[in-house]
Chain A
Amino acid sequence: MGEARMGHGERVTARPSRLAESWRSLKVAAWLGWQIESNWTDPFLFAVYSVVKPVAGALILVFMYLVVARGGLANPLFPYIFVGNAFYIYVNGVLLGVSWAVIDDREHYGMLKYLYAAPLNICTYLVGRGVAQTAIATVATAITLLFGVGALGIKIPPGGVDWGLLAGALVLGLAALAFLGLLLGGATLLTARHNYFVGQGVAGALYLLSGVVFPLDVLPQGLRWVGKSLPVTYWLEAVRRALLGDGGNEALRALPTGTVVLILALSTVVLAVASVLFFRWAERIAHRRGLLDMQTMH
């Protein structure tokens, strides 16, 4: 933090630029998030924990196919569904990581009010708190994909992967999820702690609406349109096209890949603006009603 000297020997602290403040908030939150996520146990148990949870989620799907689907895992739909499910781990991780931080800091550590009293950018702070979960989700997604390729016979030849598209889609998708997490963080500022955390709940809704585990075409017309307006849908479509060469959604097949990425980028921008506006609005309400240090555990 810089210092400036005024007349009469009075010293004042020069306020850092907004960008520097935001970056510092992100960094410290990412560090804190990692400490909270990782240091509760020894590294081995932490590694097992980080992997078992998402892989179990992926296996539910495998068994649903084994029980019912004609052809079982050889069903042509299966690779699309499996890849969608693997990348969905990010949705849960990021949304939960960012929105849960509000409850954790408010009701567990009692820190939220102090964060508001500190020269922090609370938005980047909350996004930073989700970084640890994102890192864990990256490992879990990679392991799930390796499991799919190694044990379930899903074909993702490295030479056939469009790595550029994958990287671009990942960056845009994670940005969209971070902003969605922020939006949920705003909602959490105004609501109590429940069994189902808002992050999980909305992730569940996206599971339905974004064509994660079945093609959008299966949804009723109304829900299909909701799905088509969500960035997560285009993110998964782009990721599938990058890995498998096809998105698996009949409803989006007519769109060229460039258009899919463009829609993803534009919808992320719209989401970003909406999230920040909503979060600031929720903040004002929380300040007005004195909700920054409420305790709702019961």
Chain B
Amino acid sequence: MGAREFSIETQDLTRVFRVKRREARGQTREVVALDRATLAVERGELFGVLGPNGAGKTTLIKILATLLSPTAGTARVAGVDVVENPWEVRRHIGMVSGGESSGYGLLTVEENLWMFSQFYGMRSGEAKKRIRELLEVVGLADRAKTKIYHLSTGMRQKMNFARGFLTDPEVLFLDEPTIGLDVQTARTLRTFTRGWIDDHPDRTILLTTHYMYEADELCDRVAIIDQGRVLACDAPAALKRGLQGEAVFRLTVDGDRDLGPLLGRVDGVQRFAHAARDGHTELDLILADENALVPVLTAIQGAGARLLSLEKREPTLEDVFLRLVGRSLTEVSEGGGEPPR
């Protein structure tokens, strides 16, 4: 077996933005969007980048897709340096951004797709055939002749999805591809994505998401990213196995309570997150082992709270994130953690 082939490699990739300070005219402050990110994605992988909003996922994709220069570090896509030779990189890539509204409203779905195919030099006949196939796959065939300003958000996203796959790119970047979509549409697109990479082992997909479930279900490997830093990178199962020695519980207690200070003092509590839900408080706990549960329950009882439910769970990527960051992904993403399954 030869050396591993990496479709995407980054080394200490950093991007700093200078943002104008509103309070001080003419002055700027620096915002580190990506902080020494090092990744290696193998050919044939569906690689996920999981992190909350503002973690640096889109910045990473923009750099890899040659839309943004890094401040420091290096990045190679399909073996080509994105700074040295962006032109060559573009021959190998495609990109779909969630929630984008690209295209011309006056053109129909198939006309928009055809136009983009021409930018890639596709023969017109071949492009039209492929467009028909892709629209069929994403369930948009009956809208092929519809002007795109008449499309719903979900339909538009399906069209953008089809555009990303239209040119059969060697490396495809999917930036939050299911954001804001209904359950059925999100499922259709996820199924198609997984099927495509399985059918094309010589292709690579890098997908960013803040949906834990999406990363877990779809990706061969996942990098967890927060505040521009890559905190962990492995297969979802391996990441979860990292919590195997610990015990993961979900508790519900009555009322909207701030139990943070209390739990912080209990021995054996590694991490915790709490969220108000339906007038109760939901606690996610990572404990050193199951023995730590008794002091937790005692503390809760001592605080006058009534335990409504208790569940021992298998670890999820959400727990991995909580373990690494100290906050839950849902909490950080402000309601965006639950995916449209």
A contacts B directly in the complex (CB < 8 Å)? Answer: yes
Contact with A along B117-154 (1 / 0, CB 8 A): 00000000000000000000000000000001110000
The residue on B at minimum CB distance from A110 is B101
Which of A235-243, A263-271, A289-297 is the interface stretch? Answer: A289-297
Within 8 Å CB of A296, what residues of B? 105-106, 149
Select which of A110, A290, A293, A297 is within 8 A of B104 by beta carbon. Answer: A297
How far is it, in angstroms, between the C-alpha of A295 and the C-alpha of B105 when the chains are bound? 5
How far is it, in angstroms, between the C-alpha of A290 and the C-alpha of B150 when the chains are bound? 7
A247-298, CB < 8 A from B: 290, 293-298
Within 8 Å CB of A32, what residues of B? none
How far is it, in angstroms, between the C-alpha of A295 and the C-alpha of B150 when the chains are bound? 9
Chain B's interface size range is under 10
The residue on A at minimum CB distance from B104 is A298
The residue on A at minimum CB distance from B149 is A294
Name A's interface SS. loop
Q: Is the Cβ of B107 less than 8 Å from the Cβ of A298?
A: yes
Within 8 Å CB of A297, what residues of B? 104-105
B83-139, CB < 8 A from A: 101, 104-107
Within 8 Å CB of B105, what residues of A? 294-298
A60-81, CB < 8 A from B: none
* A51 interfacial contact with B, CB 8 Å: no
3 A-B pairs closest in CB distance: A295-B105, A294-B149, A298-B104
Q: Is the Cβ of B106 less than 8 Å from the Cβ of A192?
A: yes
Within 8 Å CB of A290, what residues of B? 150
Q: In the assembled complex, how far is the CB of residue B214 from the closest CB belonging to chain A, in whole angstroms?
A: 26
How far is it, in angstroms, between the C-alpha of A134 and the C-alpha of B44 when the chains are bound? 60
How far is it, in angstroms, between the C-alpha of A296 and the C-alpha of B107 when the chains are bound? 9
Within 8 Å CB of B149, what residues of A? 293-296
A66-111, CB < 8 A from B: 110
Jot down 6 A-B pairs with beta carbons below 8 A, ordered by A: A294-B105, A295-B105, A295-B149, A296-B106, A298-B104, A298-B107
How far is it, in angstroms, between the C-alpha of A290 and the C-alpha of B149 when the chains are bound? 9
How far is it, in angstroms, between the C-alpha of A120 and the C-alpha of B148 when the chains are bound? 28
The residue on B at minimum CB distance from A107 is B105
How far is it, in angstroms, between the C-alpha of A294 and the C-alpha of B104 when the chains are bound? 10
Within 8 Å CB of A192, what residues of B? 106
How far is it, in angstroms, between the C-alpha of A298 and the C-alpha of B107 when the chains are bound? 9
Q: Which residue, A192, A290, A296, has most C-beta atoms of chain B within 10 A?
A: A296
Q: In the assembled complex, how far is the CB of residue A117 from the closest CB belonging to chain B, in whole angstroms?
A: 15
The residue on A at minimum CB distance from B148 is A295
B316-332, CB < 8 A from A: none
How far is it, in angstroms, between the C-alpha of A293 and the C-alpha of B156 when the chains are bound? 13
Q: In the assembled complex, how far is the CB of residue A194 from the closest CB belonging to chain B, in whole angstroms?
A: 12
Within 8 Å CB of B107, what residues of A? 298
Q: In the assembled complex, how far is the CB of residue B286 from the closest CB belonging to chain A, in whole angstroms?
A: 41
How far is it, in angstroms, between the C-alpha of A295 and the C-alpha of B156 when the chains are bound? 13
Q: In the assembled complex, how far is the CB of residue A235 from the closest CB belonging to chain B, in whole angstroms?
A: 38
Contact with A along B157-175 (1 / 0, CB 8 A): 0000000000000000000
